[in-house]
Homo-oligomer: A and B are copies of this chain.
Amino acid sequence: MESAKENEKYMFRALIATDIHLGFAEKDALRGNQILKIRLNTEFSIFNAGDDTFNTFEEVLKIAVENCVDFVILGGDLFHENKPSSKSMTRCMELLRKYCTGKKAVEFAVVSDQKENFSHTELFPFVNYEDSNINISIPVFSIHGNHDDPIGKDHLCALDAISASGLVNYFGKSSNVNEITVSPILLKKGNNKLALYGLGYLPDERLHRLMADKKVSFQPPENQNDWFNVFVVHQNRVKHGTKYLPESFLTSLADLVIWGHEHESIVNLEWNEQQRFFVYQPGSTVVTSFCAAEAKPKHVGLLSVFHNGVENVFKVRPIPLKTTRKLYFESLNIEEEFLQLNIKANADSMFKYCVDRVEDILHKAAVEHSGDVREPKEPLIRLRVEYSDELMTFSHYQFSQQFVKRVANPKEIILFKSKRSRGSKANTHTDYDKLDELMDVDETVRYNIEDVIKDYFGKVNRKGQLNILCENLLTQSVKLLVEKDASADVISQIVDKRYNDTIKALQSFSVDCENTDAVKNACFEIKENQTKDTNINVAHLLTKVSVATENIDIQVDSDEESVDSVNAVNQTRKRVTRTRDGSGAKRARGSSSRGRGKRGVSYNPL
C-alpha cells in the first residue's frame, strides 16, 4: 500500500460552491449598498463592498485559500444578471485577483486536449495557470448558470469576459445547439486522476429533448475506471414537466454529480442507486427568495479524493458559511391558534401576534449570529400568514415601520395567504395547495404562466386533470391571450371547438352513451391522441373556429388517480435528509451493502 500513502499525499482538494449570484439585490438599501469599511491595519484596508453577495464570495475564496485547495469548482450563476453591472464585474475580478493569483504552485497538471475542453475560446484555449504571464495560485473552474448564460449571435457571457482576463476557467460551454459532446478536463496530481465534466445551463426542455434523443455524448478518458469522474450541471432538479433534468438522463460514468441551480443547501451527499453515483447539491451562498428551502444554513463543500490503490476514495466536507445573511421562514396559522386560545382573530390581534413573532425571531437571530463581523446583523424574515377573511389582514407599511433597519426586508416580511374554506374547495377539483406551491416559486427561476399551467397538470392527481381539453392547447391559448393580446374569448372558442370535435369523434367511435365509463375512456383516448399531435396550434385552430355557440360544461369526473404521477412527485420531494450537524456526509454514504463495485470508487469519510 505504498502507493496509497503516496497517493494520499497527492490527494486532490477542491472547494465546491455554486449560485453565488454576484450583484443580487445590489441596489437594496441593506443588502446591496451598505458600506462596511473595515481597516485591518494601517497598511491595507480590506475589501470595501458591504454587499451580501460580494462578502460571501470573498468568504468562499478565503475558505479556498485557508484550506490550500488545488482548485475551486463553481456550479453556475456566479453572476445574478446576464449583463452584470460594472460593480459586479469589478468586484468579481478584484476578488479573484486578490485570492487566486499568487506564487503558490499549482500541483496538478491538465492532461486532456485543452483545445477540446476550451474550444469556445480562440486565443487562450488552455487552463489559466498555464499562461506564463499570470501567476495563478488557485484555478477556478466554472460552468455558467441560467442567470449568466451566453446569449446573442456571439454566444458570449460574463464568464467569457472574466475568462478572457485569465482569472477563471470557463468550461462546459457548448456552441453546437443540436448535439453536445462533453469532453472532460483531465487533471492529474501524482497518480491521482480526476475527470471534470461540465455542462453549462441549457433551457431544461431543450436539454431534456437532446438527452432523450441521445444527442448528448460524453468522451470518457481511457481506463475511465481509474478516474474520479465529477460532473457539474446547472438545471432544475425538481420535476416540472419536462423542464428538469432527470438524474437518470445523466451519464452513469459520473462518480459525483455537482448540482447547481437548486438553492436549497443540502449538506449530505445523496446516493442514486439506479445511476450508481452520488449527487451533491451545495445550494446557493445567498438567499434570493423567501422560501423554506432557502432558510436552511448555507454552506460550501470541501472535496478530497485520492486513489487508495484499489479504488478512488473521496469525501465532501461541508463548511458552513459565516457571512450569509440568514433567512428565518415561518408559516403561521394564527387563526387556528387563536381559536384554541379563545382569542378573537382580527387585524389588530393578528398584527400584534406577528410583531411578537418577528421580535422573537430577531432575538433568536442575535443569539445565532456567527460572530463574524461580516455577517450582517439584520436578518431576512418571512412570515407566511394564512387568513380566511380579508378583514384580518393589516397594512404592510405600518408593519414594516416597526422593523426598518432591524430586518433586511421590512416591507416583505408578511406574506398573506388566503385560506380557502372547505366548502369552496369541495366544489372544485382544483388542487389549491399544489397551485400555491407552484405560484410560490423561487423568484430567481422566472416562471411564466404557461409553466405554471403545465406544472400544475403535471403534478395534480387524475381527479384534477382535464378530460377533454388537452393541456398544451390550454397553455397555448393562455399564451396567445397574454402575449399576443388576443381577444378574451379565445379560450371559450377553443373549448367549444374541442367539445364539438370530441362529440364528433365519440360518434365515430360508436360509444354506448349510457355507459359513463366507456364515454370517459373514449374521451380520454381522444384527448390523448390530440395531445400527441404536436402540430396542434391554437392560432391555426382558431382560424377554423366558427362563432362560439353556448357555454358547455366540459368537466367529466373521474375518481381514478394516476398513481405514477403522484409517485413521481413524491420521489422528487423525498430526496432531502435534513441534518444540520455536519454529520450528513456519513449518512449520505448509506449502507455499505450498496457496494459501489461498478468501477472501483467508494465514498470514504477520510
Contact = CB atoms under 8 A, between A and B. Distances in A.
Interface of A: 33, 45, 47-48, 83, 85-87, 89-94, 97-98, 101-103, 122-124, 131-135, 150-154, 156-158, 160-167
B161 A123 contact: no
A22 to B, nearest CB: 12
B90 A164 contact: yes
Contact of A165 (B93, B122, B124, B157): B93
| A-B pairs with lowest CB-CB distance, top 6 | A89-B161, A165-B165, A93-B164, A101-B133, A133-B135, A86-B156
A163 to B, nearest CB: 8
A123 B135 contact: no
A92 B124 CA distance: 14
Contact of A123 (B89, B98, B134): B98
A105 to B, nearest CB: 13
A87 B156 contact: yes
A164 B94 contact: yes
Nearest to A164: B93
Nearest to A37: B122
Contact of A87 (B87, B93, B135, B154): B154
Contacts of A123: 47, 94, 97-98
Given A86-B152, A86-B154, 7 more contacts: A47-B122, A93-B165, A94-B164, A97-B123, A101-B133, A103-B133, A133-B134
Contacts of A101: 131, 133-134
A86 B160 contact: yes
11 contacts: A86-B151, A86-B160, A89-B89, A89-B164, A90-B161, A90-B164, A94-B164, A97-B165, A101-B133, A133-B134, A162-B165
Contacts of A91: 164
Q: How many copies does the complex hold?
A: 2
Contact of A160 (B90, B133, B151, B167): B90
Contacts of A133: 97, 101-103, 134-135
Nearest to A137: B133
A97 B85 contact: no
A124 B91 CA distance: 12
A48 B157 CA distance: 17
B86 A158 contact: yes
A122 B48 contact: yes
Nearest to A45: B122
Contacts of A154: 33, 86-87
Contacts of A97: 123-124, 133, 164-166
Contacts of A151: 86
A163 B97 CA distance: 11
A131 B97 CA distance: 10
A134 B102 CA distance: 9
Contacts of A83: 83, 85-86
A521 B93 CA distance: 63
B45 A152 contact: no
Contacts of A122: 45, 47-48
A465 to B, nearest CB: 43
Contacts of A132: 103, 135
Contacts of A98: 123
A217 to B, nearest CB: 25
A93 B134 contact: no
Nearest to A97: B166
A89 B83 CA distance: 10
Given A122-B45, A124-B94, A86 B161 contact: yes
A39 to B, nearest CB: 10
A253 B133 CA distance: 38
Contacts of A48: 122
